[in-house]
C-alpha cells in the first residue's frame, strides 16, 4: 500500500473536493490535482480503482468508524457519511521556491482574484509586491513569470498555510475547515531556509496551530499586505517587513 489506511473527516472532505475539481479540470491540471490527493494519503491503485474515479467510487471504498475517523478498505460498500458542505471550498497554489530560497513567506489562502489568475498576490490592490520591492530595493516586475524570477533572485519562497479551505469571498476571517499545507516537511526539504515570514494575523494563528516552533528558524509575524488591512500606516508596514532581511 502506497498511501494511508486511516483518514480524518477533514481529509475526506478535502479529497472529495479535489476529486470534483479533477473531473472538471483540463488534462494538464489533473496531474497536479492527483498529486494533491496523493499528498493527503489516498492512492486509488491501493483499492483497485482506475484513474478516472469519481467521488462515489471513493466513498464506496470507505467505511466510517466512530464519528471522526474512517478507514478505507478494498471491499466496495455503499455508505452515506456526513460530509461538510464544500460548496465554497477553494484550493491553494503550488509553492514558489528554488534551492537558493532562504526566506519563506506564508500567507493564508490566495484571494478570489489571485485564484482566478492563478498568481500569488494577483489583486493589484494588495501591497505584497510593493513591500517586496521596498525591502529588496528593486522594483518588482509586472509580468508574473518575471515576478517569480525576481523572487528566486532574492532568495524568497512563497506558499500559504492552507492547502484547502471553505471560504466565501476573499477575507481571511471567512476561512473555515482548513486543511494545512505540510510546512514542516517543506522546510525540512529546503535546508537553506532561515526565516519564515507570516503575512497577517490569520497566517500567524494557523502557523501556531499547525506548526509551532521550528528549531533553527526565525519566525517573523508581519502586518498583512491585504488591501483590507487599512489600520497600519504604510511606513510602519515597511519597517516591520524589513525584519525579514
Q: What integer pLDDT is reported at residue 87 of this predicted model?
A: 60
Q: Is 131 strand, coil or helix?
A: helix
Give the count of beta carbons closer than 10 Å to the beta carbon of residue 124. 9
Residue that wins the pLDDT comparison between 39 and 120: 120
Q: What integer pLDDT is reported at residue 1 of this predicted model?
A: 73
Give dist(CA 179, CA 91) in Å, integer.
10
pLDDT in tens, 205-237: 999 999 998 989 999 999 999 988 888 999 999
Pinpoint the residues of the chain covered by CATH 3.40.470.10. Answer: 89-244
Q: What integer pLDDT is reported at residue 9 of this predicted model?
A: 63
Tell me the catalytic residues: 126
pLDDT tops 60 at residue 128? yes
pLDDT in tens, 54-100: 877 777 765 543 333 344 444 333 333 334 445 678 888 999 999 99
In which element (H, E) is residue 219 found?
strand 218-222
Query: What are 98's three cell numbers?
Result: 528554488
Q: What integer pLDDT is reported at residue 22 of this predicted model?
A: 79
Q: What integer pLDDT is reported at residue 73 of this predicted model?
A: 44
pLDDT in tens, 26-53: 777 788 888 888 888 888 888 777 778 8
- Residues with Cβ within 8 Å of residue 226, at least 6 apart in sequence: 111, 126, 127, 172, 200
pLDDT in tens, 164-204: 888 888 888 888 888 999 999 999 999 999 999 999 999 99
Q: Residue 219: beta bridge partners?
A: 196
Q: What integer pLDDT is reported at residue 29 of this predicted model?
A: 79
Q: Residue 199: beta bridge partners?
A: 222
Give dist(CA 232, CA 117) in Å, integer.
27
Q: What integer pLDDT is reported at residue 79 of this predicted model?
A: 36
Helix, strand and coil in the chain, % to nearest 5 = 40, 20, 45
Q: What integer pLDDT is reported at residue 233 of this predicted model?
A: 94
Q: What integer pLDDT is reported at residue 202 of this predicted model?
A: 94
Residue that wins the pLDDT comparison between 100 and 25: 100
Q: What integer pLDDT is reported at residue 170 of this predicted model?
A: 85
CATH architecture group of domain 89-244: 3-Layer(aba) Sandwich (3.40)
DSSP letters for 155-202? TEEEEESEEEEE-SSS-GGG-EEEEE--HHHHHHH-TT--EEEEESHH
> What does the mean pLDDT of the chain come to?
84
Amino acid at each position: 500500500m502506497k498511501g494511508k489506511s486511516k483518514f480524518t473527516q477533514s481529509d475526506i472532505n478535502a479529497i472529495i473536493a479535489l476529486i470534483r475539481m479533477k473531473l472538471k479540470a483540463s488534462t494538464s491540471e489533473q496531474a497536479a490535482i492527483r498529486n494533491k490527493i496523493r499528498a493527503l494519503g489516498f492512492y486509488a491503485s491501493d483499492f483497485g480503482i482506475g484513474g478516472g474515479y469519481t467521488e462515489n467510487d471513493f466513498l464506496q471504498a470507505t467505511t466510517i468508524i466512530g464519528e471522526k475517523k474512517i478507514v478505507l478498505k478494498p471491499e466496495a460498500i455503499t455508505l452515506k457519511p456526513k460530509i461538510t458542505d464544500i460548496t465554497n471550498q477553494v484550493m491553494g497554489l503550488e509553492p514558489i521556491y528554488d534551492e537558493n530560497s532562504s526566506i519563506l513567506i506564508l500567507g493564508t489562502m490566495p484571494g478570489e482574484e489571485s485564484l482566478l489568475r492563478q498568481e500569488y498576490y494577483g489583486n493589484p490592490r494588495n501591497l505584497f509586491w510593493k513591500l517586496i520591492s521596498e525591502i529588496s530595493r528593486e522594483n518588482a516586475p509586472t509580468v508574473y513569470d518575471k515576478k517569480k524570477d525576481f523572487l528566486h533572485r532574492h532568495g524568497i519562497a512563497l506558499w500559504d498555510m492552507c492547502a484547502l479551505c471553505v471560504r466565501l469571498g476573499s477575507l481571511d476571517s471567512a476561512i473555515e475547515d482548513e486543511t494545512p499545507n505540510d510546512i514542516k516537511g517543506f522546510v525540512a526539504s529546503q535546508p537553506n531556509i532561515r526565516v519564515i515570514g507570516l503575512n497577517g494575523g490569520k497566517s500567524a494563528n494557523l502557523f501556531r496551530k499547525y506548526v509551532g516552533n521550528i528549531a533553527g528558524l526565525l519566525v517573523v509575524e508581519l502586518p498583512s499586505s491585504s488591501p483590507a488591512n487599512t489600520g497600519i500606516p504604510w511606513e510602519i508596514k515597511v519597517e516591520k517587513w524589513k525584519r525579514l532581511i
